[in-house]
Amino acid sequence: MPKEIQKVTKRETKKRGKKDPNAPKRGLSAYMFFSQDQRAQVKEENPEASFGTLGKLLGEKWKSMSDAEKKPYNDKAEADKKRYEDEKAALK
């Protein structure tokens, strides 16, 4: 019984357009603002923690927060999103 031989074909790669170096940076999320704000404090509390462990600790802290506690970070994220959209529109 002959074995069937499958022909290996190369996939076509999609070419990406080059990123505009003058394009504005994307807006940060509420969690990223929280992370920037709290990372030093969490690092002080856990000096032996690795970068990944710090991320997990910050994530747990973020999940345990109420919506009222997250509000300042959500407001910052909204403002940063608006900044990004305004800069993006001005670029065009």
3-state secondary structure 19-87: CCCCCCCCCCCHHHHHHHHHHHHHHHHCCCCCHHHHHHHHHHHHHHCCHHHHHHHHHHHHHHHHHHHHH
**Cα–Cα distance between 48 and 54 in angstroms, integer?**
10
pLDDT in tens, 54-90: 999 999 999 999 999 999 999 999 999 999 999 999 8
Where do the structural domains in the chain lie, given as residue ranges?
A: 30-91
The beta-carbon contacts of 14-19 under 8 Å, at least 24 apart in sequence, are none
CATH number of 30-91: 1.10.30.10
How far is C-alpha 88 from the geometric centre of its chain's CA atoms? Answer: 19
pLDDT in tens, 26-54: 999 999 999 999 999 999 999 999 999 99
